[in-house]
Structure formats: structure tokens, C-alpha cells
Structure 1
Amino acid sequence: MGLVKSLCPNGGMGTRPPPLRITHSGKHVFDEVGPGIYQQESLPVVEVAGLAGGGASLPCDVSHQPGDTLLLLLWFKDSLATPIFRLDARHGGLERWRDERRMGGRVTLEVGGHRALLFLTPLSPSDQGLYTCRVDYQYQPTSTTRVSLTVVVPPAGLTVTVETEGKPVKGKVVKGKERNVVFSTSHSDSLDPVVGPYLAGDIISLTCVARGGHPRPSVVWLVDGSLLHSAAPSSQPTIAAPRPTVPPSPTPPFTSADGNTTVGTTIMTPSGEDDGELLTCVAQTQKPPATMRDSRRLQVHYSPRVSASFGSSLDAERIKEGADLYLECRVKANPPPSHVFWRHDEEELYQNISRGILVSGGTLVLQRVARSQAGTYTCHARNPLGEGDSSALTVDVKYAPVCSAAQTTTYAVGRNEDAEVSCAIEANPLKVTFRWSFNTTTESVDIPTAHVSSAGNQSTISYTPLSALDYGTLLCWAVNDIGVMRNPCVFHIVPAGKPERPGNCSVVQGRATSVRIRCQAGGDGGLPQHFILEAALQGGSHTVNLTTAQAPTFMVRGLIAGGQYRVEVRGVNRKGSSAPAHLTLTTTPGGIYHLHGALALVISTLC
């Protein structure tokens, strides 16, 4: 039977006995000598790696046919002619022996199934080499396993240098100190101090120098865990390609005195997004990984970056008049902003509780928002480096229809005359439906839609009073998706008549041949009116006729000096003229025209 139990290195491990040669009639002859003809270059090599100070297990194939028996197992290192470990079962027992001078107590052997494992621990750099396991059996030919052991030596230390535009800046050069070696990538390193502050747009050169390590370590730069660049093992500096948007700057060549240095350099131009990122240099050997790292938190100063949004629970497409409106402002800045504020249509907003405007930090609240508060809103922030503005938020306040201001509300018409009554409204959305009714002192009648013409925000009806009962009030309503207008538009239909006589006429400025006369207009009879002045020289044929379409104010020129004039002022509409307002102009002893029977008012210069 083959050996299937675990063999432990306790007992029977004295000094190595002299070479033993045993001859069995008709059997193989076994010699405790080097691999010799069994170590053929064509045999495959098993690759094994272990970390210095750790351990490694070297496999050896001990599989054999049923009924056969393992008699002798020998381990050799490199070209040594004598074994470093022996397992001997030729005499029925299990004799174990190791080379105490070379291996000491660092080597053990376990055999189980079809494989035997030679354990070496702790490893030292001198353990690296090619190992050969030779196995002799009772019947089948000798088998050989070749194992190449690589002893990984971690880097001895890291030095990190940060430069701006190729020159170290006072207070910004950070040199790493030697660390305890990190044997596992799961190790949690302590965070080093910050690097900076730098201004956004500065050109920064990051250099990481790894000293020692076998095999030669790779050097990589990480930014918040993402690979920035990789440096291949070399005694010359390895300059990684910078970020695509960053132009490279030259790095002077460097060679260590002993050639045992790996350098990783990268160039970056930080922006505001890089503020707070963790820059980490990692020097790492492979198989198994032996890692050393040095980290710096990057600090970048930049002007504010501002964004604005509607409150999370707000539907920006359905902001109704009377609802509360929430706007949120987010600011990223270093140094932090000293002032955050809002503008409405370019006008800065201030807290005004009585108007329902609340400003708290970056939040703007408009309580019971009105349609007048529609428009664009922007958030702004300032710090010592400048001011940042958000994109504009458009606040579209929806509201039910209301009557437009400054529209004609009284229509004076005669019987059997047509009046085109127009109702204009304001609404959002503007898609509206109109409804009309006519009110008198005795009844209210809805006007059929066939008599109504509507387009956009305006509706018009043609109304003709036929009797005295047809005079009254027209009411206009409109409705949209938000609701019905609260109060209708009101239009008064009154009988048309002549204007009323102008009154309170006076002379406000008089001279020897001119005078300004001002009156108050009387009622217009429900129709547009204009005004006429007629002045006639008493005792003569000279007359003056003037017309004005605005208020009854006249500048009368061309009067005969020293005369007396009778003046009449009338209001006129299409129904006729009013009764005249009479006044008499006379002259003072100084020859200045004034209103007869009163002291003349002389007001500055002639307008």
C-alpha cells in the first residue's frame, strides 16, 4: 500500500546518515544522490511564490498503481547533489531527515492521497530557487517533480513628492515616510494629511518612488480607488500618460545609485470635482501581492458651482396660484460660500415674511405664490474666488381666468344701434371657454353661444337694445383647466346721449395776446367726446375756433391786445354737442388777459 497518512517532523530527525545503497534481487537500486538522470529539462516546472517571512508549500506527485509502495522521497534544491529532505520507508518504518544546516527547523512534509507537500516557513530570500522532488517506488519507475519557488520581498519604503509646475512649493511638498509593510490588500491604511490647497487649473506633478522589492514592484496611482496610471518595473523613472485633457510636462530623468528604485509619475490639472479626492500611490509585487501605499487627500480651491432645482415633491408643470413653492439650491465651493442668494428675473430676493418670501440657506419658499411671481429664478453663491450662478428655473404659475385691466366697461348706445362688446381675460393655461349673460333689474338671461365670437383670450358679442328694458349689465365668465374665474367681467349698456356741459373753467396763464384756458369735462353721454372752444371779440369781428380731442384745455393765441372776448366751451360726441360753458376775457391795466371778474393767475412761462 502507498503512504496515505500525514507524516510529521517529530522524532527521527537527527544528522544525515551516510549514503545508503540497498540491492534487492530483481528490484531497483536506489541511490541517495542528486536528481541526475531523473532531472530532465523537458519536465514541466510548477511555479510557486511565497512572501518573505511567510510560508510556501511545494507539491510533489506521489501517485502510483494499487499494490505498489512509496519507498523513498527526496527533495533537492538547485544543483545540490545531496537532498535537503528525505522520507525513507525502505525498512518498514518512516524515517524522516532534513538538512539542519541549510533548512533548520523550517521544513515539514505532509503526504496525503496522490500529493506530498513540503512546507517552508518562514521564507527568506535565499530560499528562492528550483526544487526537485524524486520519488522511488517498490515496482514502478522513479517519478520526478520540479518546482520553481519565487520569494517575494515587499518594497522597503515609499517617498511621495507633490510639485506644482515642476517646482516644489513651500508647504505643498509632502514626503512619505517608511511604513509598515502591508501584506494584504484588505489592510486599512490610515489617511495622511491633505495636499494643497491648490487652485483649480494648477498643474500638479505627483511622483512616487518605491525603494527595493523583489520581484521589482509595479507602481500605480489611484484617484479615489480608480487607476490613474501604472508604472512598469524599472530602475528608470516611468512616466505615465496623463489624463487626456491634461497636457504633459517634462520630467527630468532619474536613476538610483543602486538601480533598485521604481518611480511612478503623473501630471494632473485638478478641477473643482477633484477637491477631496484621495490620491494614493501603491507599490505592489505579484504572486502573492505585497503592497505598500501612501495616500494624500487633495484639496482644491475653486469658485462656487451652483445648481438649482424644484422641491422634490413639487410638480413643476402644475404650479397653481395660491400654492406654496419650494426651490432648492446646491452649492459646491472651496472655500465655502460666504453668501448664497436668489434672483427673480435678475432682481435679488430678500426675506419678506409679510409677502410670503422665505429664504433659509439655499432654500427659497414662496408662500401662496401669485401669478405675478412667475418668471425665471436663479441661485447665486460667492466665495473669495468668485461668484457662481445656477441655470435658470422657469416658474410657470397656472391660474384661473381673470378680467384684463384697462378695457371698456360702459357702452352707450341708442335703440336699434349695435354695440360690439368685447371681453378680454388673462389666464394660464389660455385655453378657455366663455359664457355670457344679461342682467336687468328684473331678470338674468344666458346669451346663446351662437351670438358669441371667441378667439384666444377674447370674446365678443354684438348687442342691440330695442327698448328701455334692454339696457342693463352684460356679464362675461371664462373657465380653464384650473377653474372658473372668481368674479365675472361686468359691462354696462346705457342709453347714448349728448355730453354734459364742461365746468369749472379758468384762466391759468395769461399774456397780452394769448391765454391758457382749462375746464373740467362733463359726462360723455356714454360715447367718446372731443371739445370745441369759440372766442369772439366783443365789438369786433375777430374770432378764434379751437378743437381738442383730449381734455378741455386750450392755448388761445392771436388775441387782439386790450380787447374783451366772449368764450364758449362745448363737449361733442356723435349724438351732438353739450350746452356751452361761458366765460369772458378782459385785460388788466397792464394789458394782461384774465377771466372777467377775477384776478388773473400768471404761472411761470408759457408752456
Structure 2
Amino acid sequence: MVRDTNLCGIAVWLVLQSLIRTSEEIVESSIIQVWSAPGAETRLPCDLAASVHDVAMTMWFKDADRMPIYTVDFRNGPPVHWAIAGEFGTRTHFVLNESDPSSAHLAVDKVARYDEGVYRCRIDYIDSPTRNYRVNLTVIVPPDSPRIYDSEGREILGSIAGPFREGQDLLLSCQASGGKPAPDMSWYRGDERLASTKSGSVCQVHLPALSREASGTKLQCRVEPPLLQPQTRDVTLKLYLKPQFIRVTGGGPTRSGHERSFVCTTRGSKPAPNIDWFINSQRMDSSMTQVEVEGEVTRSVLTWRVRREDSGRQLVCRVSNPWFPAYTLEDSLTLEVLYPPAAQISMVEPKEPRLLREDEDAELLCSADASPPSYNFTFYRGTENHLIRDDPIGGIAVEGNKLVLRGLRRHHSSRYRCRAWNSEGSGLSEPLNLNVLSRPECSAGSVVQQIAGAPGGEVRARCSVSAPSTRDAGPLRFYWTYNGTKDVLPIPPSNVTIRGATSSVVHGLPTEDGDEDLGWLACWASNDIGNQREPCLFRVMPAALPEPPSNCEIEDEFLRCEPGHDGGLPQRFILEALEVRHHAPVMGDDSTMNDQGISGRGLTEAVYRASNDVTPQFPLDALSAGLYTFLVYSETPRGRSQHPAALHSIPIRTSDDLDVPGSLQTMTPMPPQPPSNDNSVALLVGASLSLVLLTILTTLCVTLVVICKKRQQPQRDPEQNTILRRSVGVSMYSGSSISPSIVPTVVVRGHRGSRVLAARWSGVLEDTPLAVLALDTRPHADTDSGHSDGELIQERDLPTTRHNIETQIE
């Protein structure tokens, strides 16, 4: 049966071939285009163009195949369908609507890419020519997923496009390759289509000069292949934005040295901007700033210690985005710093302070750098800054911040300063030294100096003046005059010596002896500024006798004293050494007292004399060993001192005989001799009574001698009697007998501190006059408490004053 079927099919095919070859064909020149998505159902149209009853057979061919792939036979009643064997045949069927023959079509299910081709529909009519339709079936191939590129060809991989800069031109390309047919492509911003491309694989969008509003905008690339769902790709624009706003706050008055916070606020910059601070065009240290970012608002807080020199300067805040190097925003404020005045004193007239001269006027100006401005000014003078006040009589006027000095004098030469005041305090200026070129003035001022002279002798005087330097005021010139009792005489220049600012003169005095004075010497000096207004005056007084030396001591074989007043004339010093020889005293005999009040009992003539023109110091190494009394005089052309300084009974020994080595001679009386026989009560009582009686008689005799001497001395000048001198420490007494029961201690005070040298006696002392030496060279305030101001006695009473003896009785 199968065989019969095959034979039948072959027969049909042969019949059809014969029909094809023999029938008249009508072929439509147009080709019907049919698109189909892969896997979808498609329809290949074939318009019968006649009733079904008029159609004999319908056949479908693919491409150039001569074998039909599908056949419908209408000749024998109901249509008979035949499809080519295979997979394609199972997916095809012919659809015919008899009421609408034009809608006939070949349906293909699950279209595959290999189904694509040109199909031919052949319609054989019973009484009409054959008609052919060509249908081009194209299986649509979807494009690849769209890809977006920027203007530099970089692919945008994520959903963010950028960053782009504000004001930049934007060019984005959307590519979808591999589509068949080429899809339609377009760019959308929301519902707004920005660009489109028909049947292409690339679509570009161009946005010139991106504005701030474009930041965050979503753009969509849409790919629309036919019969397929469109493909889309969304990107969001990321923009770097310029800063929009800047403002600096925190101004106002600020005290110098105090910290102040300034805030710089900016908005609109993406990313956060760089904020820099500048003062006087210098960048400030970033460590003094603190940055705060809140969304699009960025703040920079500058905490800074304001200085006085910053007053009036511009504090600038500069904002910049590194993506816009040529674009910056700035805001500034002027600093107002409060600080105390910085005063400065200057000369207004004349301009140069070294050109000031006497009798001219000077004007000083006190200027101050202060905030707020200074409202009070004071001026000071001298190193101790004495306040200068208005003195119209003295030519001083303080006028606000000006000091006017009228009629300049030398005393105006000084250091001047000024002080300015404001609400923040005060400031003292640096000193300004004024040097007034003036006439010479006497260095001693208006004090009249006294010099001593003798009638008929020469007098010497030295005059010193103060004057500006010779470079500024010219050289000094001196001349002297002598004002006698009758007239004023100029002193010849040959008697005048000039050395710098000092002049000396030698002038011979007249022979007349004046009671009050011997005349006046006047010293005058001049320079280029003018003559000295008042001379330096010297009153020539009659010279007095010199005073004797005092505080004599012997140290290292030298006798040294302190010189007394020279009486106004140069003095020299004379030493006389008298050797002491002992013999028995004669009671009541005062003939041994000389006119100096010095006992001559037991003394020889002067065995040694020496003189010194400078100081009362004399070597004693030429003396032989023995006991000496030393007399030291002062001598001037006027005469010799009335009294000498006397040291009595000073032993001079060789170095082997000194009891104690040191700087002072040691006065050591002979030690007492032990009794040769046993003491008895009777002998002791008799000796004591005899000694007491002898002491009483001696005291009475000495008292009488002193009284007589006082009466015989001539009355002196009251002026000389009023000269009080401290005791030289030498006390002399006439010879007397002392009870053997009394053991005296002789005190000798050394040159450096009190040094006590004691010698004890027992028995009866030798009958030579006793002279006790007390050398005291300490300051008067350090003497023993027993010495008070009562020890100041008249010089003529020195030899006979008994109470000055410094002894201690043990």
C-alpha cells in the first residue's frame, strides 16, 4: 500500500510539472516583506484573488527550490493539504477563510533563523492564468545590549556618567551592534526625546555647556528592534560644580593679643572646595582652621590671635574647586584691632636736634599709633622721666601733643620722652636727646670757691667749664681777671694755661694783708655761641696755720699719720725723734713743760729728723734701739702747726727683741721682780700706806701745774677756738708715783681692728714720766662706748687733758 501511495505521489508531481510547463503564469513583480521574531508565529500571505471554487491548487516554494514545500488541492472537494516531510512541515499549515479569500496565508510556527528566505505562493485557477506571489521572510536578530561611551571613547560601565564639569559640552554615544534588521535608537531625558537614529547601530546625544541643573539628570538610551521589546540603558550625570556663594563673618573690634574666630561659609561646590585664608596677601597656616561640611555647605573656622600690626589689614577667605583651577570666589573684611598707643617723639622745628642753639625755640611732636586714637599726651624729661608741665615763665608750653620750648638754655639739653593714652592703655616713646649748643658755664655752678693765699705770695687756681664739643660749638677760649680792692686787672695770657675745658692760672698777690680776703679771681670762657654769662669766681682768703697730723701709728718700722687740714696752702710734714733718758722726778717742778705742752723731763735734743712733702709717713729703720718720743708737725708757707702729733716713750728694738711679730710695736714694760725676802704684814702695810700718800701728793701737784699753764697761755682767735678736732689718741701726763697695788693695762689699738697689748707691773714703776699711748685708727662710730661726743675738745687743751687716757684696771 505504501508503494502505491508513493507511485500516486509521483504521478501527481509529474502532472503538476506538466501543468506548470504548459500553463500561463502571472508573477507579481513586488515582493512582500514579512518580518518575524525568532520563535514567534508568522504569516506568509497568499491572496487567492478569487473564490475558492475557482482555484484548482495552491503551492508554496522556498527560494529557488522547484519542489513545493506545501500544497493545497481544491479540485476534488474539500481542500487537501500536503506539507513537505520534515521538521518544517510540522510547523506549517495553510489558513483559508472562504469568506475572505484575500486573507489566505501560510502560517509558520516557531520561526527559526533558518526559516528565513524568499517564499513563492503559486495559485492555479481552473479557468484563469496562474498567479505567483513572492514573500521575503526575514527572521529578526535582536541587537546586543546597548553600550554607552563618552566623548573620549571611554565606556561608561555603571549607572553614573561622569564626573563632568559645570559648563562642559557633553557628548554621549549609545551603540547596539549585531541587530537584524538595524534597530531604531534614541536618547530620552524623561519623556523628552533628545536624539534618534533610524535603522542604525549608534545614536549620539550632545548637550552643550552643562548647567548646574544637569547634575543628577537621568538619560536613557533606547534601542527598538522591530517586533521586539525595546532595550534601554539609563545613566545619571555626575557634575563637578563651581562654588556659588561665599561670606566671611566674625568682624568687629578685637583687642590686640586676644584670640578671635572668623567663619568663612560657602555653598554649591562639588566636591567640597578648598578654603584658604590670607592676611596681607600671605597664606595663613591651615593648622589654625577647622573645616565643617554639611551637604553643599562648607564652613572654615579660623581661630587666630590678632596682633596690633594687623589693624587695617584685609583678612581674605578664598574658595576654589580643584576641578576649576581658574575659578575662585573671595570675600574679605577689614580687621579692626584695639591696642594701646605706640608713641614716638620727634622734632618739628628745627628738623635736626643737633642744630639747636641758645635763645632759639624748639617744638616737639608726640605722635602715636593707637586704636582707638590717643586722646591724651604727656611729656617727660631726664633719665628719671620727670613730668613736664606748662610753665609760661620758664618758656614751656604743652599744647595737646606738642611741646614748645622757648628761649632755649643749656638746661634744656636733656632726654625727652612722651606718653600717649587711649582706652586700651598708654605707651611711652623712645627717648629723643636734645643738645642745645650753649655758651660755656662754670662746672661748679654759681658756687664761689675759696682758695688760700699769703700776701705777697702766689696763688694758683683751676677753672673747669662745661660746654658743647668743639666740633659743634667751636674751640674754648679763656681769660682771667683779678679783682682787687681798688680795680679789676686782666691777667696776662702767659700766666694762663689751657687744657681742654680746664684753665689754670698763677697770679701774684699784693703785699697788703687784708682782714677779710685778698681779692677775687674771675675765670671767663667763650666759644662760637657766645661769652660765658657769669664767670667762675675764686675768693682768695688769708691762709691759716695747718693742723697737726692725727691717728699716728707705727707699723713695719714706718710711722704713719693722717694729715690734717692744710690751711689752704700746700703743706709738708716733719718728724722729730727725741731719745728718752730716765731720771728721778722732782715734785712740783713744772719747768720741764715746753710751749707745746709736752714734758721735756728725761728727753734729749732731737736725734733724728725727717720730712715728707706728700704724706706724713716716715721710715724708722735708721734709729738705733732705745726709747723715743716722736713729734710730727705740719708746715706751710704760713707757718708750722701749733701742736705736733706726739708719741711718747716708744721703744725701738731690733727684730730679735720684738716680743710679738706683727705690724705694731709691742710696748712691754719690765716684768715685776719677785721679793727677795719673805713678806711680812708690817712691811706690806707700810708700803701700801706710803704708796697711797705718794699718789695723793702727785695728783695735787699735777693739778696745780695744769691750772698754772692754762692761765699763762695767751688768748687765741675765737674763730680758731671754735675749730673742734677729735683727739688724736695721744694723752700725756707729768711724772707721778703709782701705788704698787695698782696693776695698769695699756691699750694700743692697731690699724685694722682693736688690738690689745697689755703689760702688767708690780711694785713701784720707774720714776720717769709715764706716757700711755692709745692708737686708735678705727672710725669714730666704732670706738668704745665710753667715748662720746664729749671727747671733742679744743685743740689747745690736748696736752693737759687727763681724762682721755684709755686704761683698764684689773
- The interval holding the TM-score normalised by the smaller chain is 0.3 to 0.5
The structure with the greater share of residues assigned to strand is 1
Q: TM-score, normalised by structure 2?
A: 0.36
Which structure's CA Rg is the greater one? 2
